[in-house]
Amino acid sequence: MEEIVTKRSKPLSIKKIAVIGPESTGKSTLSEALAKALNTVWVPEFARNYLEEINRPYTENDLLEIAKGQLINEEAMLAKANRYLICDTDLHVLKVWSEHKYNRCAKAILEAIAKNHYDLYILTFIDTEWTYDPLREHPQEDMRLYFYRQFEDLVLNSNTPFSIVSGNQEQRLINAMKAIQQLK
């Protein structure tokens, strides 16, 4: 099996923050707002552009390509980061989707998750209105709750600080900023 690797580790002065959660919970909006508020850069979700470009339903092998692209983009943005690097998603999202859709996750993705560390997870709650997007798959309330619980379980067991944010965009930004300010 192919290995997914990053070229260098993050500078000690840069704190990596991953914004994760189910579809249509404001992750990209929050990531961009955090980067602006912190005068730094953010790493957009690689999967979005990848899936738009392939213009077909994704396969299990596509998840490996998405994982590689996400990590390459994170690595590239580290050089531009100012104290914090905000990541709109991490590879746990691929793990959750793969296990849901294919009942397994590629070993290379699991190994990359184990090697790629974040200083804080920000988990977005499902109290936002579902917004249609052709790339989104599960608008049903029970599925949104299912995926939220998957991500909640991940952060609870990650040994990494985390914050659950809810409410409107302003409330989410305020609460995420409070969690970031608590980082040492």
pLDDT in tens, 128-153: 876 655 555 555 688 889 999 999 99
Is position 75 within any domain?
A: yes
Q: Choose the weakest-confidence range: 1-10, 45-54, 64-73, 87-96.
A: 1-10
Mean pLDDT of 46-75: 92
The CATH number given to whatever domain includes residue 116 is: 3.40.50.300
Give the predicted TM-score (pTM) of the model.
0.89
**What is the rounded CA–CA span in Å between residue 102 and residue 96?**
10
Q: State the total domains in the chain.
A: 1
Which residue range(s) make up the domain with 24? 15-181
Asked, for residue 1, whether it belongs to a domain, the answer is no
Backbone angles phi, psi at 7, to 5 degrees: -80, -35
- Report the 10 Å Cβ neighbour count for 24: 18
pLDDT number for residue 6: 52
More confident residue, 133 or 181: 181
How far apart (Å, rounded) are the C-alpha atoms in residues 77 and 51? 21
Give domain status of residue 157, yes or no: yes
Asked if the structure places residue 84 within a domain, the reply is yes
What is the side-by-side order of every strand in the sheet holding 120-124? 41-43, 84-88, 15-20, 120-124, 162-165
pLDDT band at 57 (very low <50, low <70, confident <90, very high): confident
Residue 155 lies in a domain: yes
What was the pLDDT predicted at 103? 96
pLDDT at 1: 40
Question: Does residue 91 form part of some domain?
Answer: yes
10 Å CB burial of residue 131 (0-12, 13-18, 19+) is: exposed
What's the mean pLDDT when you consider all of the chain? 89
* pLDDT tens digit sequence for 25-38: 999 999 999 999 99
- Domain-embedded: residue 2: no
For position 80, what pLDDT does the model report?
A: 95
- Continuous H helices in 116-168: 141-156
Is residue 153 included in any domain, yes or no?
Answer: yes
